[in-house]
Structure 1
Amino acid sequence: MIQRTDTRVRDSGVTVTGNGDVYIGMQLRDSDKQAFRRVAEDQLRRLRYVLVAPPRMGEARAVLADSGTVILDGVPGIGRSAVARVLLHEHHRDCGVFRELPAGEEDELPLHDPALVGTGDQLLLDLSAADDRRWAAAQAELPALRKTVHEQRAHLVVVMPYRGVLDPDLQYCRVVLERPSGIGVFRRHLRLHGVPPEQYLQPDGTVTGFLTADRPMREIAEFADLVRRARDAGRPGDGFAQWCETAGRARNDGRRDAAALVAKLREAPQRALLIAVSMLHGAHADVVHRAAEQLLSLLGPPSESVSPLQQRDLAERLLDISATAAITGQVRFEKLDFDSAVRAHVWDHMPDLRPHLGTWAASVVELNDPHVVTVVRDSLVERVAGEYLRTGRADELGYLVERWSTGTTSRPRLEAAVHALTRGLADPVHARDFRRQIYQWCANGRLEGELARVLVRVCADVLATSHPDQALVRLYHLARRERGTTRARQALCDLVAGSRRLHRVLLDRLARSDFSPAHLGIFLQASDPELLTLHSGTSHALIDEQSAQRSLTACWHAVLTELPPPQWQAEARRWLHRAAAGTGPHSGLLLDLLVSAAQRCTEKRGEAFALLYACARDAERAGPENAVRAAETTGLLLHKISAAQGIAPATPPTTSPRGTRP
């Protein structure tokens, strides 16, 4: 989480504003996953505090509590997605997680698949932007999904398309939300920003004029943040009216003022400095100066060199563009929010510059300067990515990410690529496009350079927070394709280690694969016997489920048939060690699954049995358990092998005092 004072706050479909900006940006560090998840959880709690309940939200709350499902309808811009998240957050329990469901996206579980729902989950199905075809397809699957939600004691909130046609059988779940009070939303955000009630409760003409139109909730939140920033940058003695007036001018006149300034500045160095300040607003003057010089160099040959003693100093040049440098060196425009106005004007009206700005941004994040700190790099990437997304060019941002990740790259450039993808996944309009693009890269794309590494981090740390099923699918494809590293495989196994439901889904997918060496390598790492036998607060372990037993047996059979023994014996010994640890009925079950897999090997059955027995003898010598217990496990395995061959009774002659009897 990075806090700034000059940029709006965004998350997945929700705008949250506060004292400083909350920005989600991921670095290539192992600790990022928990940090990202913590930020996401904090934002849900913050959203619950800041939300002004719209009329009929109480009815939606009652329908959700009564039936486990509510379908939200209403005019766009009234905060349907925010209401959905708050409703689900109110049902948060220790045994479930909040996540968004995929709907009709490539290679995903269909909505009617029971494997999609975990016990106690809080599920959001946001179809507010779906077309008629996609909405009809989702409706056809809703009855089966709702049945699973009920069986798993989960909760489901569906945001339907405005003016969409809803099946009569689902009408009783539908609640049409109404627009909350605009002034109430505005004041709630101001209160969050620490503005005293005696200030914001007084009438103000600027606020009244702004709220006359039916503004979307996001715009109201953004205007409240402008007022907060006007307060922070204002002069001593200014009051609420002055703050609102300043915010109103920034909102209404910024683009016009930016256009006038660009038209006035005819020289390339002036415009380069203007663009550098707008993209690096708040950065140190040294960084701004070097960035402007890099932009000039990128766009053309350098002009005739002039002695530094003859050049205009930076302070004078900043005055030309209505900017100043503080005593601490940070450069900012004098007018509130003028940086975003300049960025928008340059992006919209100087289109030939766009292809160069991505290259320039990559060179800036790689600057070797003590003032080029993480917040400066992240802010620059955020602003460049924001312009691509604002103008509907998600595909070009994806291409830029690919360029940053391939060829000659560096850690700062890779961090920038991860950050840009994170920004795309958080965009309420283009998130689906980025999930689709990431899937194409992971499943079918040419993974040149460090692109795979970037994708692993984004899937494991970012996508897994809101769309764990989609993260699983994408990591699965990366893992089956990776060569010379097991980074994706490890991330995939870490993901399923935290969710029995995802573990079950992965085992099922592997059991239906072509059993290539890559798939079997994933299985061997993902079949950790400790996880398989873990209860984790529920009445049974994953290995107790028949579907999981079928998947495990099928995969072990493929391992014994397709892989040379050195590639699987270590994992077999782990199973035997777990069996020797005495996990109640699971000890015998672990052995049963290994024996059943070997029994399927037909002509190689004898060899497979012999190899398993040899593993057991090796496990005796290397295992953490005492020798007596290990020998008992080997004896039990030998009995099961003999029974499978028809040369011993199915029931072992003795039962271990620790309960290894199957």
Structure 2
Amino acid sequence: MIDEPDSFSPRQGGTGDINGDNNVNLTGSHGRVWRGDIHIGLDALDRLAERVPPRRPVSANRLELLDKRFVPPSGPGFAQAQERLRNPGTVVISGQPGSGRLAAGLMLLHRSGQGDVSSFQELTVTEGQLDPDPRTIQEQERLLLDLTGYGHSQLSDIKNAVEIFRAEVEQRAYLVVVVSADQQRAWGTDFGRVLTIGCPERAAVLRRHLEVEGIALPDKAWFTPGLAHYLHSGRMSEIAELADQVRAARDRALSAEPGNWLADALNALADQRGAARNRVTALRDGRDKALLFTAAMLDGASVDEVFDSEARLLTVAKYPHSGSHSLDEKDFTQRLDDLRLKVDAHGVRIAELGLDAALRTYFWTSMPGLRTAFRNWVASVVASQKVTGPHKRQIVERFAEQALAVGEKEHIVLLVHQWTRENLRAKNRDNYRILAEILLHFGLTHEQRGQEFRRQFYDWAKNPSTATPLARIMVPLCETVIAPTFADQAVVRLRHLAGHGDEEVRSAAANALLRLAGVAHFWRRILYRLCPTEDSDHFPAPDRLLFAGLAAPELLLRVRAVLGHSQVRRQLTTCWRLILADPLDWTPELVTRWLSAKNPVLRRILVDAAAPDPALLGYLYGIGRRWQAAATPAEDAERVVNDLRTAVDRALDLTFLSPEARPEETGR
């Protein structure tokens, strides 16, 4: 069994959702059998073929969304790379920062070649080696290796590893390596000519992004002051952000004119750090700063929600009371007016588009001594009965953004632990679980901090005593967020969770793995990690149970192409050898399922697993005879068992004997 190391790379985020279309449940309502710390119902095998509406992989959605907005780069490099990737192989592309070189790499994988484009995976580097193991890479997989964040000294250490990986996979997979412009010479010698990806026409990129949002700018809007920077030298990420701000201006209904939306968006994207700093430093009263921060974190909340949340911040921050009676102080509406906070049907807002984000950033970066108080305040607001669910979610998301931006993962982890305690009141448990899941989703998908959270998941998953509510939300996050981009790491974590101390967690993790197994490249990865070495006799109960689901013919034959690989057949044989040698109550049922599939490859694997042990071969043949006696139509079963008997005879070198002289079956 293989447990792969975690990956470390400069680009750490990952997002997505990829699943098979089969619904599997490893615990049944009747016939339950206890084996070690695993429950399995014999009726579970009957449900392996149940169907659920297929869930669209978010990784595929991510590529499709990018495809809608993508404008091909200038120059011949992109077309040449597409030509090289008509069949499995490797291309190395390069481009200037901000040219959209990573997007170009993704689109090369999305638009080139044949096969299932949803089998996309991002490679990472661990201690000079590429992850995942190249032996787990399947036919037609799409692989992206981003090396733009590495320096020359680092690249020299991993270049040989990349070459070894490429030699292993390029006959069956599509690999795009993205390097920075100053790395071209170093990579061109060994990997062929590096193809330069030019920058797309910027106006076309902006127009395409806006079209996707249903926005068409009038001709005169293209002469709006401030737009020239974006059209002449803007990075692709800046243009995407500009389009997003135009959409935000439209949604805020500041104007009915698309040209005004663009002007508002450009103003919002102007460097507002100075405006935020001036707005805060002009305030002398700490209570006013608290109100401004609250409004920035809860933009759009009602007056009552802002009032309650500000009071909680003053309490958590231990701000001294003014000592005067509330009748002697300004009323709350006057305080909002003094701070130039807009109150309308949409709630309390900071009028200037984009200034709320600049204020949040200013408070978090400029007041590090208050970050613990800010975290405790978020917990207090979430506990409030006066703040609505959507605004609780909003404040949690903005807290996550700021904590990640300043690199303080610990604040997020602490709240996750707090919101997944075992002793939470039942009526609040689900709400807290949702908010904890939001925090972890932000962490896992963060560009710089994603690796830290995947490592945290690994540590939690390995501990069978991890709080059950936390383990329960880890399962879907492994399946839907980690798996599409870091498939191997998701499988490793789910396997550990399948050994958790809570039965529901074990079942959920196993079911998640089997849902992923509906995609061939996941099926092979799971088997790769389950299978003991050929000289081992250790096959833990959780892995046996997972194998029972993985080997169900209803699932296995959906990914039947895997049976064409000798490594897969050897691994299945190894697993069956240990199961037949020490059978569980469900073993005969799974054997008969394999016989019922009437697949000669499956029968050959069973016989190879039992050979050359006469007792195991007799046990196998006995199961076949009992199945034949009860099977309908009897003729089909008889043919299968006759073939099985012939294979058993060959395994025992008894083909010269008459039927009467063959060894008897054993009931074992």
Q: Place the TM-score, normalised by the shorter chain, in its bin.
A: 0.7 to 0.9
Q: Which residue of 2 is the match for residue 17 of structure 1?
A: none
Confirm whether residue 469 of structure 1 aligns to residue 475 of structure 2.
no
Match of 2:356 in 1: 339
* SS of alignment partner, residue 483 of structure 2: helix
In the alignment, structure 1 residue 521 sits paired with structure 2 residue 542: no
Partner Cα separation in structure 1 for residue 55 and residue 337 of structure 2: 40
CA contact (8 A) 1:95 1:119 kept: no
Relative distance call for 1:111 and 1:447 in structure 2 (3 A) is closer
Distance 1:289 1:571, change over 3 A: farther
| 1:413 correspondence with 2:432 | yes
* Letter of the 1:578 counterpart: W
CA 1:510–1:12: 2 relative to 1, 3 Å: closer
Aligned-partner Cα distance in 2 for 1:101–1:169: 24
Residue in 2 that maps onto 1:503: 523
Q: Which TM-score applies when normalising by structure 2?
A: 0.77
Q: Deviations over 1:478-508 (max 9, x none)?
A: 3245553424542453244222233223223
2:94 corresponds to 1:73: yes
CA contact (8 A) 1:96 1:119 kept: no
Partner in structure 1 of residue 592 of structure 2: 576
Residue 295 of structure 2, aligned match among 277, 297, 306:
277
Q: Following TM superposition, by how much is the alpha carbon of 1:586 offset from its aligned partner in structure 2, in angstroms?
A: 4.1
Whether the 8 Å CA contact 2:569–2:605 is kept in 1: the answer is no
Structure 1 residues 284 and 631 mapped into 2: Cα distance closer, same or farther (>3 Å)? farther
Q: Aligned partners of 1:255 and 1:357: how far apart in 2? A: 20
Deviation sequence 1:543-569 (CA, Å, 0-9, x none): 4533223222322333345x5x4xx22
Is residue 287–residue 369 contact of structure 1 (8 Å, CA) maintained in 2?
Answer: yes
Q: Please list, as runs of the form range in 1=range in 2, the aligned pairs for 1:150-299 lying within 5 A after superposition.
A: 150-152=170-172, 154-164=173-183, 166-199=186-219, 202-209=222-229, 214-233=233-252, 236=255, 240=259, 242-252=260-270, 254-299=272-317
Closer, same or farther: CA 292–583 of 1 in aligned 2, 3 Å: farther
Please give the secondary structure, in 1, of the residue aligned with 2:143.
Answer: strand
Instruction: Report if aligned partners of 1:277, 1:332 keep a CA contact under 8 Å in 2.
Output: yes
Match of 1:104, SS? strand
The residue correspondences of 1:56-95 to structure 2 (distance < 5 A) are 56=75, 57-65=78-86, 68-91=89-112, 93-95=114-116
Q: Equivalents in 2 of 1:35, 1:637: separation in Å?
A: 37
Aligned letter for 2:494? Answer: L
Are the counterparts in 1 of residues 134 and 165 from structure 2 also a CA contact under 8 Å? Answer: yes
> How far apart, in 2, do the equivalents of 1:64 and 1:541 lie?
23
Alpha-carbon offset, residue 590 of structure 1 = 5.3
Which position in structure 2 is the counterpart of 1:51? 70
Residues 126-141 of structure 1 correspond to what in structure 2 (within 5 A)? 126-132=146-152, 135-136=155-156, 138-141=158-161
CA distance in 2 between partners of 1:445 and 1:76 (Å): 44
Matches of 1:651 and 1:479, distance apart in 2:
47
Question: How many Å apart are 1:298 and its aligned residue?
Answer: 2.6
Q: 1:172, 1:427 → 2: CA distance?
A: 33
Partner of 2:554: 530
Counterpart position of 1:385: 400
Q: Percent identity?
A: 27
Measure, in 2, the Cα distance between the counterparts of 1:222 and 1:611. 66
Cα shift readout 1:582-613 (whole Å, capped 9, x = no counterpart): 424246335425533xx56xxxx74x567656
Name 1:657's counterpart in structure 2.
none
* Residue 173 (structure 1) shift: 4.2
Counterparts of 1:231-630 in structure 2, within 5 Å, are 231-233=250-252, 236=255, 240=259, 242-252=260-270, 254-300=272-318, 303=321, 314-327=332-345, 330-368=347-385, 371-373=388-390, 376-394=391-409, 397-398=412-413, 400-406=415-421, 408=423, 410-443=429-462, 447-485=466-504, 486-487=506-507, 489-512=509-532, 514-532=538-556, 534=557, 536=559, 541-561=561-581, 565=583, 568-579=584-595, 581-586=596-601, 588-589=603-604, 591-593=606-608, 595-596=610-611, 599=612, 606=615, 625=632
Decide whether aligned partners of structure 1 residues 338 and 470 sit closer, same or farther in structure 2, where only a CA change above 3 A counts.
Answer: same
Query: Which amino acid in 2 is paired with 1:385?
Result: A
Q: Distance in 2 between matches of 1:268 and 1:618?
A: 82
For the Cα contact (< 8 Å) 2:468–2:502, is it kept in 1? no
Q: Distance in 1 between matches of 2:486 and 2:657?
A: 46
Q: Does the CA contact (< 8 Å) of 2:397 and 2:438 recur in 1?
A: yes
Equivalent residue, structure 1, for 2:144 = 124
* Root mean square deviation, CA, Å: 4.2
**Inter-partner Cα distance in structure 2 for 1:398 and 1:108:** 29
Q: Report the equivalent of 1:5.
A: none
**Counterpart residue type for residue 525 of structure 1:** G
Write out per-residue CA displacement over residues 36-59 of structure 1, whole angstroms, 9 at most, x where no aligned residue.
845443332232232232223333
Secondary structure of residue in 1 paired with 2:140? coil
Q: Give the 3-state SS of the residue equivalent to 2:139 in structure 1.
A: coil
Shift of 1:295: 2.7
Contact 1:102 1:470 in 2 (8 A): no
Deviates more, 1:50-59 or 1:462-471: 50-59
Deviation track 1:25-80 (CA, whole Å, cap 9, x = no partner) reads: 99xxx99x989845443332232232232223333333433773221112222111
Instruction: Tell me how far apart the structure 2 counterparts of residues 194 and 628 of structure 1 sit (CA, whole Å).
Output: 63
Deviation at 1:635, TM superposition (A): 7.3
Instruction: Give the drift of 1:224.
Output: 3.3
Indicate if the aligned counterparts of 1:73 and 1:175 stay in contact, CA closer than 8 A: yes
Matched residues in 1 for 2:417 and 2:114: separation? 39
- Give 1:274's aligned amino acid: L
**Unpaired segments of 5 or more residues in structure 1?**
1-10, 15-22, 655-662
Instruction: Determine helix, strand or coil for the equivalent of 2:175.
Output: strand
Aligned length: 607
TM-score by length of 1: 0.78
Q: What letter matches 1:41 in structure 2?
A: A
1:136-155 deviation digits (Å, cap 9, x = unpaired): 45532444544555432x42
Query: CA 1:517 to 1:423, structure 2 compared with 1: closer, same or farther past 3 Å?
Result: same
Letter in 2 for 1:557: R
Contact 2:342-2:349 at 8 Å conserved across structures: yes
Q: Which amino acid aligns with 1:414?
A: R
Q: Which amino acid aligns with 1:351?
A: P
Q: Runs of 5+ in structure 2 lacking a partner? A: 1-10, 24-51, 661-668
Shift of residue 627, structure 1, vs aligned partner: 6.2
Whole-angstrom distance in 2 between the partners of 1:92 and 1:332? 49
Partner deviation per Cα, 1:253-277 (whole Å, 9 max, x = no partner): 5322322332344445433332232
Question: Which residue type is aligned with residue 296 of structure 1?
Answer: L
CA distance in 1, matches of 2:313, 2:301: 16
Aligned partner of residue 465 in structure 1, secondary structure? coil
Instruction: Measure, in 1, the Cα distance between the counterparts of 2:309 and 2:122.
Output: 42
Cα separation, 2, equivalents of 1:134 and 1:653:
68
On the 8 A contact 1:405/1:451 being kept in 2, the answer is yes
| Change in 2 beyond 3 A, CA 1:527/1:209 | closer
1:398–1:434 Cα contact (<8 Å) kept: no
Measure the CA separation in 1 of the matches of 2:306 and 2:587: 55
Question: Which residue identity lines up with residue 435 of structure 1 in the other structure?
Answer: R
Aligned-partner Cα distance in 1 for 2:113–2:423: 45
Amino acid at match of 2:591: W
Letter in structure 2 aligned against 1:280: L
